[in-house]
Structure 1
Amino acid sequence: MNKKQKKMLARIIAAFLLLVVLSLLPVTGYLQFGLYMVPYLVIGYDILKKAFKGIRNRQVFDENFLMAVATVGAIALGDYQEGTAVMLFYQIGELFQSYAVGKSRRNISELMDIRPDYANVEKDGTLEQVDPDEVEVGTLIVVQPGEKIPIDGVIVEGASTLNTSALTGESLPREVTEGEAVISGCINMNGLLKIQTTKEFGESTVSKILDLVENSSAKKSRSENFISKFARYYTPAVCYGALLLAICPPLIRLLAFGSAPEWGTWIYRALTFLVISCPCALVISIPLSFFAGIGGASKAGVLVKGSNYLEALAQTGWVVFDKTGTMTQGVFEVKGVHHNTIETERLLEYAALAECASSHPISKSLQKAYGKPLDRSRVTEIEEIGGNGVTARVDDVAVAAGSDRLMERLGIDFVPCHHPGTVVHVALDGTYAGHILISDMLKPGAKEAVRQLSKAGVKNTVMLTGDRKEAARQAAGELGIHEVHSGLLPADKVAKVEELLERKGPKEKLVFVGDGINDAPVLSRADIGIAMGALGSDAAIEAADIVLMDDDPLKIATAIRIARKCIRIVYENIYFAIGIKVICLVLGAVGIANMWVAIFADVGVMVIAVLNAIRALFVKKVN
């Protein structure tokens, strides 16, 4: 408990003890009123103060106003014990709610406790701790065992094991060594690492994650917006309803039947009506359910940028995948050189030099296959043609390296490859020189990910790729994906998603899962975009609505399950709270329900709804 909660607990105990003592004392009249005002003001002075401020600021209709009117009215009718007890139990409910919300926030803070406090910079032979915001790109930082990596960078010296659980939700450590890229937020478990930063702190992974989580509550779901609008109209309506309940029946008895109006009875019923009508359970539990759902997703290594995306994800009917780096490892290897008219080594050399400016995995695989250092000064006039390949001049030889489309675009006759995999055709000075076959391996959990999606009720899975038809069909067949479209340029992927959006049902949502820069437009166009966060590009992460922090496609099914559980809890709370309140309002209006029933309808329902909301924090692993 924090200081404020402890203070409230002390007030509750004091008010309760005073109430018990007063109920045993045989006092009446003004003395009884004076004595009961002590516990009432001890427990309720802040509610009265807030209600007064609301009236002064012309924001009258809220739960503070309802409680103030109901309890002051009960005391005015001489029901001192009930008036004080209603305020006491309301504050107990508020304390419980404050503790529950605080606990869920603490859980999320602990899960996302990855913000580094400092970075170690070596100066004059000693380590100096500086604010990560002050570290410039290219600075050499030192991360000692047990410390968090503060900024993204590349290891220039040392080897270690990293704990990535705060980012990915998985406890599996990751081995890293010299030359490997590392991201901020991971904990260095053993060896000393010297890292050259590649980004500023504000652009590092840890900052982006924290920004996503901190701003996720700003994007409200339709359910939250509904509850906000509902409370805006509901509270004034029940206030006017209570006023009519207090005035109309007595007047009807007096004017129509000539009977005694019984003002006290009907005012008491109206006050009971007000206590019952307090919308706390809905106003508190619905946002808390989404907050807990986002927290539970964060715990599982799934970052959701807003509760609106969580609500949309629960309606997933179609999942569309990119192939390379999403369902495959993105680790390409040269498997063969075919139909070459020059030596294999020379063909690889030309292809590797032509692709040397590209960061694409295919380029890296060519450089790895060539196996020798590349002299980039030999390469000029590099032009990358999106979705086709590259052209360049190497030692004054015009080199074209790329797909079938590039050869067709340049009007060069080529030999098609019938083996599954990615093919890089190479032409020298406009003459075909052969092709290089490169293949990629499926991710270990990719096949299971598709199976779990089917198990979760996703009926349509689609693969969109720029790869060749043979490689795409082979991958889709192994994975069990229903539909595959290959040979697509970035613009073609957007067009294909547009077609799929037309085909889906009105209540279904289409999810696109991708990782590359060229996937950013498609991620933005889909109903929900999911990006691979650990190895994915910054552009894809920025464009996506949901980020998988460990690149594991199995987390897609986990995210859908979390979303559906969260929405189920939201609707449970809505139906339960409204149902109980309607029943109790009717009972209160006809005089069956008294103030004690009203307390349950307000505080009891709120406590049950909040407890139910917190269930969204806990996530079972997919099996």
Structure 2
Amino acid sequence: MEALQKKMIKKEFTLEGLDCANCALKIENGVKDISGVRSSTVNFATKTLSLEVEEQQLENVITVTKETVKRLEPHIHAKEKGEHEHHSHDHDHGSFNQTMVIRLGIGAILTAIGIFAPVTGMIEFELFIIAYLVVGGDIVLRAVKNIIRGQVFDEHFLMALATIGAFAVKQYPEGVAVMLFYQVGELFQGMAVNRSRKSISKLMNIRPEFANVKMGKTLLKKSPEDVQIGEIIVIKPGEKVPLDGVVIEGSSMIDTSALTGESVPRQVKAGDEILSGFMNQNGLLTVKVTKLFGESTVSKILDLVENASSRKAPTENFITKFARYYTPVVVIVALALAFIPPMLISGAHFSDWIYRALVFLVISCPCALVVSIPLGFFGGIGAASKSGILVKGSNYLEALNDVKYVVFDKTGTLTKGVFQVTKIYSANNVSEEDILKYAAYAETHSNHPIAESIRKAYKEAVMEQLITNYEELSGFGVKVTVDGKEILAGNRKLMKQHNISFSEPAEIGTIVYLAVDNEFAGYIVISDEVKEDAGNTIRSLKKLGIKKTVMLTGDVQKVGKAIGQKLGIDEVHAELLPQNKVEEIEKLDQQKLPKEKIVFVGDGLNDTPVLARADVGMAMGGLGSDAAIEAADIVIMTDEPSKIVDAIQLAKRTRNIVWQNILFALGIKAVFLLLGAFGIATMWEAVFSDVGVTLLAVLNAMRVLRVKPSPVSA
């Protein structure tokens, strides 16, 4: 009971110098064991360590975490998010690369001299040992330090053991050359990973750097974090909107593509809401701040994307466990390969089989999988965010591959959620203009959305002096005198109550009947318009292999069925309360196969129970909506149903790339392990199967960033 009452808070660290996926795994597992830490996740792509910590132990956890990271990986520095960052980091990284190139150059020259110069014996050995230490001394040192700390099975240990073993069997040139090749590969791999990180960061380059705060007649440049609610900021053309607010002066076109993926700019003017992360294009805007930066849209989006890795996909979890057992097993097999055949096979030499075992060890490193798979998923999440789709974790991205049932809310999801007059029918020589005018006058005092839609369609000003004898008839409509004529406006029950014969409309929607001086005059049809891409979305989902589409709505049966038929939806359940929607999801859950998933797509405001009950909850039009972002697993930041198709296509593409890497890496390694065991592969091929495969896998993982979802077919 006491444990349940402990308050948990989130703490983040930046891991400066993190360039190795195995190191990330070591840190993640090591920090998990610290007292007071409930969960620990390292995001290799963003170099971030995220902890869930008991509040009362926070200070101790911070200290112990830094010490643990330093103990596990001395070259990595854990800094609390918000601590002073090293702005020269990129420069330092470039200097490190330059130093490494010089070392490799010297090592290559010494190796060439050793191979081609007429030297033998001790001089040859000394020449190669100097070359070896210049090229790979740091690798051997790291391996020794890790062994002292009880961390044996990592890439540094494997490479040091393999190359020192080559020296032991007097294969000096090969020992140095393999370490040289390995270091060159590591250099290129590091460059590829950094490039990948920059590509992902570029996708989410929406964080504003400053805000122009208006202080009297002057502008003061402040960090967005320092701006308070109610302060006035000025956004100049070409600047990012730093904080959420309301425009109080000016008008401009704003580019929303960074948040929504929409290429067409929007216009904002005084009174309009504006969100952080948008780009001001041409006008000067004065904005009153309505949210602190920590609560702003851009801050929440960045937080969701950067921390999506805390919810790992099953594939990532499998690879993490696989890597943990794979390397020790390979080392045991290598030992068996080194010593058992020479003892069993007549004429076999220990030096030959030890060499084969060393080749086996070099091949065994699982870097290609450990590096490329998290980068693939993170790239998929980054690409989705660029398209206006926020995915809260790679587990949800992977789950989209198994979606077979898509369930929709109606209002605000498949329809626009905005009522408007769609037809006016006139009878008995009354014009359509008069029908609309009488209805607008009758609905003058009503705040109902139906009344508002009629007044909006009328457009002209209502002269209230023409209205007399206004009477609201509860459950029926309105009775009023307009310019001497008695007007009845309401539902069919109102017409029957006054014994007025009327025409029943064929159209679907809310009907307002009108009678003038007790004679039927006509009716107005008011509908909630279907979104332009809703029909194409349903057809595209069918092409993607979705078994069944379902619509759940609280609207009347007639309206629900009509919209369902128009869009081609398989099942429609109407007149439902929120709890009834949950019951319908549970019925579907009983029908589906164990591996199949259900997606529910709603507006995120009144559908929280259903969003939570579905396998994957998608909130539609969630941009700026706290309720949507909190309730859903995936947030579609625009009002376009077609983004559902984009999300599924992107998930399938991401999974294909991830599995390409898994099969490619394991396939190549399996081939080279066999070749190494039979003495066909040398250490040169072994290093390629490690470093080369990793490099290719990382580059392949980054293809997901370039994926453009195919357009929703008409």
Superposed displacement of residue 188, structure 1: 0.5
User: What residue is the counterpart of 1:445 in the other structure?
Assistant: 533
The amino acid of 1:451's aligned partner reads R
The answer for the alignment partner of 2:508 in structure 1 is 420
Shift of 1:298: 2.4
Per the normalisation by structure 2, the TM-score is 0.74
Correspondence 1:557 to 2:679:
no
State how far apart, in whole Å, the 2-side matches of 1:187 and 1:610 are: 32
- Alignment pair present for 1:571 and 2:659: yes
Mind listing any 5+ residue stretches in structure 1 that lack a counterpart? 254-258, 356-360, 374-394, 403-412, 426-434
Contact preservation (8 Å) 1:228, 1:283 = yes
Partner of 1:149 in structure 2?
Answer: 241
In the alignment, which residue of structure 1 is the partner of 2:358? 271
Please provide the CA RMSD for this pair. Answer: 3.3
Task: Report what 2:228 is aligned to.
Answer: 136
Q: Partner residue of 1:388?
A: none
Task: Provide the secondary structure at the position in 1 that maps to 2:443.
Answer: helix
Higher mean alpha-carbon deviation, 244-253 vs 274-283, is at 244-253
CA distance in 1, matches of 2:123, 2:450: 88
Write the letter of the residue equivalent to 2:190.
S
Q: Deviations over 1:131-151 (max 9, x none)?
A: 222323333221111111111
Matched, 1:532 2:620: yes
Which secondary structure does the structure 2 equivalent of 1:474 belong to? helix
Q: Pick one of 369, 388, 392 that aligns with 1:282.
A: 369
What's the counterpart of residue 283 of structure 2? Answer: 191
Please say if residues 235 and 284 of structure 2, whose CA atoms lie closer than 8 Å, have aligned partners that are also in contact.
yes
The secondary structure found in structure 2 opposite 1:314 is helix
Within 2, Cα distance between the matches of 1:186 and 1:140? 17
Q: How does 1:242-281 map to 2 (within 5 A)?
A: 242-253=334-345, 259=346, 262-281=349-368
In the alignment, structure 1 residue 82 sits paired with structure 2 residue 82 = no
Determine the C-alpha separation between the residues in 1 that align with 2:560 and 2:101.
63
Contact 2:582 2:609 in 1 (8 A): yes
Amino acid at match of 2:567: L
The Cα of 1:336 is off from its aligned counterpart by 8.4
Deviation for aligned residue 1:443: 1.9
Q: Gapped runs of 5+ residues in structure 2?
A: 1-89, 426-434, 462-469, 478-492, 497-503, 514-522
Q: Match for residue 504 of structure 1?
A: 592
Residue 443 of structure 2 corresponds to residue 348 of structure 1: yes
> Structure 2: how far apart are the matches of 1:503 and 1:577?
38
Structure 1 residues 45 and 367, CA gap change in structure 2 (3 angstroms): farther
How many equivalent pairs are there? Answer: 573
- Tell me which residue corresponds to 2:28: none
- Conserved 8 A contact 2:622-2:629: no
Specify the alignment match of 1:488 in structure 2. 576
* Residue of structure 2 in register with 1:29 after alignment: 121
TM superposition shift of 1:45: 2.4
The whole-number CA distance in structure 2 between the counterparts of 1:162 and 1:618 is: 25
Distance 1:271 1:491, change over 3 A: same
The answer to whether structure 1 residue 124 and structure 2 residue 216 are counterparts is yes
Residues 305-345 of structure 1, C-alpha deviations (whole Å, 9 max, x = no match): 1111111111121111122222222222256899x9xx855
**CA deviation profile, 1:380-429 (whole Å, cap 9, x unmatched):** xxxxxxxxxxxxxxx99997899xxxxxxxxxx8899975235799xxxx
Cα pair distance change 1:77/1:503, threshold 3 Å = same
Which of the residues 181, 187, 198 maps onto 1:95? 187
Render the CA deviation track for 1:8-49: whole Å, top value 9, x for unaligned: 344334433433333222222222222122332222223222
User: Structure 2 CA distance, aligned partners of 1:15 and 1:472?
Assistant: 75
Given the superposition, is the C-alpha separation of residues 213 and 400 from structure 1 closer, same or farther in structure 2, using an over 3 Å criterion?
A: farther
Deviation at 1:232, TM superposition (A): 0.7
Question: 2:555 aligns to what?
Answer: 467
Task: Sort the Cα spacing of 1:421 and 1:42 in 2 relative to 1 into closer, same or farther, 3 A.
Answer: farther
- State the 1:59 CA deviation: 1.8
The alpha carbon displacement at 1:252 in A equals: 2.6
Instruction: Return the alpha-carbon distance in structure 2 between the equivalents of residues 55 and 450 of structure 1.
Output: 58
1:424-482 per-position Cα deviation (integer Å, ceiling 9, x unaligned) = 99xxxxxxxxx996422222222222222222222321112222222222222222222
| Aligned pairs for 1:284-433 within 5 A | 284-333=371-420, 344=439, 348-352=443-447, 365=453, 419-421=507-509
Q: Which position in structure 1 is the counterpart of 2:675?
A: 587
CA distance in 2, matches of 1:423, 1:32: 98
Separation in 2, partners of 1:535, 1:302: 10
> Percent identical across equivalent pairs?
54
Q: Which of 103, 107, 116 matches 1:15?
A: 107
* Distance change >3 Å, CA 588–CA 622, structure 1 → 2: same
State the alpha-carbon separation in 2 of the partners of residues 330 and 162 from structure 1: 24
- The aligned residue for residue 688 of structure 2 is 600
Distance change in 2, residues 1:519/1:436 (3 Å): farther
Compared with structure 1, are the counterparts of its residues 594 and 123 closer, same or farther at alpha carbon in structure 2 (3 Å cutoff)? same
**Aligned counterpart, 1:46:** 138
Compute the displacement of 1:560 (Å): 0.9
Aligned to 1:478: 566
Correspondences of 1:606-617 after superposition (within 5 Å): 606-617=694-705
Using the TM superposition, give the Cα deviation of residue 576 of structure 1 relative to its aligned residue in structure 2, in angstroms: 1.9
| One of 296, 299, 310 as aligned partner of 1:204 | 296
The one-letter amino acid of 2:272's match is E
Distance in 2 between the 1:556 and 1:278 partners?
A: 39
The TM-score, its normalising length taken from structure 1, stands at 0.84
In the alignment, is the contact (CA less than 8 A) between 1:318 and 1:460 conserved in 2?
yes
The residue type equivalent to 1:615 in the other structure is: R
Is contact 1:337-1:344 (8 Å) kept? Answer: no
Aligned-pair CA distance for 1:369: 7.1
Question: Is residue 288–residue 614 contact of structure 1 (8 Å, CA) maintained in 2?
Answer: yes
Instruction: Call closer, same or farther: CA 1:440–1:16 in 2, change over 3 Å.
Output: farther
TM-aligned CA distance change 1:218 to 1:97, over 3 Å: farther
Query: Quick one: structure 1 residues 136 and 530, their matched pair in 2 at CA, closer, same or farther if it must change by over 3 Å?
Result: same
Question: CA separation of 1:367/1:76 partners in 2, compared to 1, >3 Å: closer, same or farther?
Answer: farther
Which residue does the alignment assign to 1:70?
162
Q: Is the 8 A contact 1:515 1:537 kept in 2?
A: no
Higher relative contact order, chain-length normalized (CA < 8 Å, sep 6+): 1
